[in-house]
Amino acid sequence: MRKYLFSILLMLLASCVVASPTPSPTPMQPQAQTSAPPRVLAVESFLADIAQNVAGDRLTVETLIPLGVDPHAYQPTPRDAAKVADCNVLILNGAGLEAFLDPLLSNASGQLVITASAGLTPRPDPQGEHPEGDPHFWLDPNNVIQYVENIRVGLSQVDPDGAAVYAANAAAYAEQLKALDQWITQQVANVQPERRLLVTNHESLGYFADRYGFTVVGAVIPSVSTDASPTAQQMADLITQIKATGAPAIFLEMGANPQLAQQIAAETGVKVVTDLYTHSLSAPDGPAPTYVDMLKYNVSQIVAGCRS
């Protein structure tokens, strides 16, 4: 971070020199550019943390979307457009999660775009409205091993001298992800299989459910995105499903509007758990400051919510 701020200061200084009244050539600039480390920008905070684990001390990964903000509905600012245009490496999740980026990328040129989910096979969107399928791969840590590999390849391409460092970092982090998978499996074993039932705000836990033996009963917003609202019929169907299956709770991601969930809870008697960190990390002093913490925290909430 400090290194990054320092390079911003240098850039500001350089622009002051350029803006000075006496026009003069700036022979220092090309040299400064070749020695500056590549600027790496990840779209989501959890993706920045994953990428930082691969980058280690060699590069600083910045985050585009502020903490707690929904990537599905994100409205980029002019400052965001400048950040995207100025970075050398842009890391995005892909599979349709970041539709807002398309116009920004059409203006950008020269940077490497790493699609973290490239090579993974998406679950189909249950409603068929999102042809790219379900983008929430990262909620199963086994998929994140593929993210790590894609990020390793991309960083090694822009910084070949760091390739061995990135390979070692990626291998060490993949071990952490495998340990996380084992930890989740152990935690979930505390929930009887017939109570492993998930109702969520939108269809975000499909990969998680597939991996750990849960059934997705339904979602308040029956979509793999948050860009829709349920019809009265869809709400009624979800209430019927919850009553029929005995699903014990509705799990909402941090920041989601709880009103509809509370309405459903009033009719079905289920609990509403409102603070899963599915699309963003928490602040550093919160319960989910890293990707691994984020999954551990969610699993603790899900296990507690399904058991009681």
Of 2-41, binders to Zn ion (CB under 5 A) are: none
Which two tokens mark 135? 């983008």
Residue 306, C-beta contacts closer than 8 angstroms, at least 6 positions apart: 191, 195, 196, 197, 248, 249
Query: Could you tell me the smallest distance in angstroms from the CB atom of residue 40 to Zn ion?
Result: 24
Amino acid identity for residue 202 in this structure: H
- d(CA 20, CA 237) in angstroms, rounded, equals 67
Q: Which residue lies nearer to Zn ion by CB, 155 or 299?
A: 299
Nearest distance, CB of residue 69 and Zn ion, angstroms: 12
Instruction: Indicate which single residue of 117, 204, 280, 298 sits in contact with Zn ion (rule: CB under 5 A).
Output: 204
CA distance 13 to 111: 24
Residue 173 or 277 having the CB closest to Zn ion: 277
Q: Which stretch binds Zn ion (CB under 5 A): 50-58, 85-93, 199-207, 268-276?
A: 199-207
Cα–Cα distance list, 251 to 23, 62, 138, 205, 206 (Å): 61, 29, 17, 10, 13
For residues 154 and 218, which CB has a smaller minimum distance to Zn ion in the complex?
218
Q: Which is nearer to Zn ion, 173 or 207 (CB)?
A: 207
Nearest-approach distance from CB 279 to Zn ion, in angstroms: 6
Say which residues have a Cβ less than 8 Å from residue 40's Cβ, sequence separation at least 6: 51, 55, 59, 60, 61, 62, 87, 88, 89, 91, 155
What is the residue type of 14? A
| 3-11, 201-209, 232-240, 287-295 -> range binding Zn ion (CB under 5 A) | 201-209
Per CB under 5 A, does 200 bind Zn ion?
no
Min dist CB 22 to Zn ion, Å, is: 53
How many residues make contact with Zn ion (CB under 5 A)? 1
CB of 202 to Zn ion, least distance (A): 6
HEC string of 44-105 equals CHHHHHHHHHHHCCCCCEEECCCCCCCCCCCCCCHHHHHHHHHCCEEEECCCCCCCCHHHHH
What is the number of H-type helices and E-type strands within the chain?
A: 11, 8
Query: From the CB of 71, what's the least distance to Zn ion, in Å?
Result: 7
| Cβ proximity to Zn ion, 204 vs 234, nearer residue | 204
Q: How far is the CB of 76 from Zn ion (least distance, A)?
A: 18
Tell me whether residue 55 or residue 220 sits nearer to Zn ion (CB atom).
220
Residue among 73 and 171 whose Cβ is closer to Zn ion: 73
**Chain positions contacting Zn ion, by CB under 5 A:** 204
